[in-house]
A = this chain, B = another copy of it.
Amino acid sequence: MSTTRLETFADGVFAIAATLLVLTVDVPSDLGNNTLAHELAKQWPAYAGYAISFVTIGIIWVNHHTVLSQLRGADRTFLFINVFFLLCIAFIPFPTRLLATYVRTENGEAAAFTYGVTLTATAIFFNLMWRYAIGGGGRLLRPDADRREVDGITRSYRPGVPMYAGATVVGIFNAEIGAALFGAIALFYVASSSVFGRDDEVVP
């Protein structure tokens, strides 16, 4: 299969999962004695969760494109790894809402754990996808793929799984610090790839 149709399907899942995150944020329905402004301010974890997960999905989308741009095509094994990878992406709205709801309660750790497991699994499948594509002597690589660039990509994806797994472990002990770490990882990726990144490249 050409990677074109995989991109259409994957971009659809990325875009929908990101947009469905808005369901994380509820319109307050019962104000009690509070003002709406008060209730809106109180649910700031929902806005933070929305933003962190949206940017995380955006980062993964950018990286997914980097992977596909190095490939000459896809075989069925690669497609099914992608299906499992996208299964994780599409799941993200659930732990986001879970974490936003429970992060400041005594049950926050279970929520942070669920969120972390989802992102860690996403990172694992992402790496599996890349490893499969470049394995077997570069079985899916474009014939003109630049070995140095391929190695650079491999290196840049290495920290993903340990970082998410680490934040998950922290989240088991303290949900709020764990949640802050997930936000920090997202910021780190945006900053590093924008500031230190290969910004001169403009592929038309």
Interface residues of A (CB under 8 A from B): 1-2, 5, 7-9, 11-22, 25, 27, 31, 35-37, 40, 50-51, 54-55, 58-59, 61-62, 65, 69, 72-77, 79-80, 83-84, 86-87, 90-91, 93-94, 97-98, 101-102, 107, 110-111, 113-114, 139-140, 190, 193-194, 197-204
Give bound CA distance, A86 to B55, whole Å: 10
Nearest 4 pairs between A and B by C-beta?
A12-B15, A58-B83, A36-B107, A16-B19
Residues of B within 8 A of A199 (CB): 75-77
> Measured between alpha carbons, how far is A21 from B17 in the docked complex, in Å?
11
17 interchain pairs, CB-CB under 8 A: A2-B204, A5-B11, A9-B14, A12-B12, A12-B16, A13-B18, A16-B19, A22-B93, A36-B107, A36-B110, A36-B111, A37-B110, A40-B114, A54-B86, A62-B83, A73-B202, A76-B198
Minimum C-beta distance from A91 to chain B (A): 6
Q: Which residues of B contact A80 (CB under 8 A)?
A: 58, 62, 190, 193-194
Given contacts A13-B18, A13-B19, A75-B200, 9 further A-B contacts (CB under 8 A): A1-B203, A8-B11, A12-B14, A18-B87, A19-B20, A27-B94, A50-B91, A55-B84, A76-B197
Count of identical protomers in the assembly: 4
Q: A1-B65, A110-B37, A198-B76 are in contact. Are A27 and B101 (CB under 8 A)?
A: yes
Question: Which B residues are CB-close (under 8 A) to A98?
Answer: 27, 40
- Which listed residue (B8, B16, B74) contacts A7, Cβ 8 A? B8
Residues of B within 8 A of A27 (CB): 94, 97-98, 101
Chain B neighbourhood of A198, CB < 8 A: 76
Contact A90 B202 (CB under 8 A): no
Cα-based distance from A40 to B97 in the complex (angstroms): 13
Query: Which residues of chain B have C-beta atoms less than 8 A from A1's C-beta?
Result: 62, 65, 69, 203
- Complexed CA–CA distance, A4 and B203 (Å): 11
Q: A20 to chain B: which residues have CB within 8 Å?
A: 16, 19-20, 22
